[in-house]
Structure 1
């Protein structure tokens, strides 16, 4: 019975680690999900109902929120309010919006 060499083991371990991010891909937040509805999340900040969310301002969107976890120029990002399972849109908004520092 042959035993794998250290080089083969390291190659297999590296390959497995590189495959994990591909398996962990996320999808856009479903606006109808319980969390999205509770937070008033919309993929487009211009579609937020001002009667329901009077603190909303047109200049507020996910990419300038402190919970945005990507570059401000990225179209989609993870958000601390939604965990790692779903992404929010750059031009989205929710009631947890808080101005990003800077």
Structure 2
């Protein structure tokens, strides 16, 4: 009897461990994205990289290319709507900064 209880406990434990990464991925990405504060254009690092919430506002910048948006940049993090250049902040999907580099395959 003790063996079947131990065996059942181990099976349930293994199932729980296997399901844990799936649950964590679903829970953390959505809630984390919602918890990131938006990047202000007035933030020092945003000013340094000429970040604009609306890409069209950057059309006069020499590095701007038509169709270059945060959401097709290699630094864009779709899970969190963040950017590796602006850690801890969300950026607008249709925003732009001078460090834009096209994401491979987009």
The interval holding the TM-score normalised by the smaller chain is 0.5 to 0.7
Aligned to 1:25: 35
- Structure 1 residue ranges, 4+ long, deviating more than 2 angstroms after superposition: none
C-alpha distance in 2, partners of 1:78/1:59? 19
Structure 1 or 2, whichever has the larger Rg, is 2
C-alpha distance in 2, partners of 1:77/1:55? 23
Higher strand share: 1
Unaligned runs of 5+ in 1: 1-16
Matched, 1:99 2:102: yes
**TM norm structure 2:** 0.64
C-alpha distance in 2, partners of 1:86/1:47? 20
**TM norm structure 1:** 0.67
Aligned CA RMSD, in angstroms, stands at 2.5
C-alpha distance in 2, partners of 1:91/1:58? 12
Q: How many residues align?
A: 78
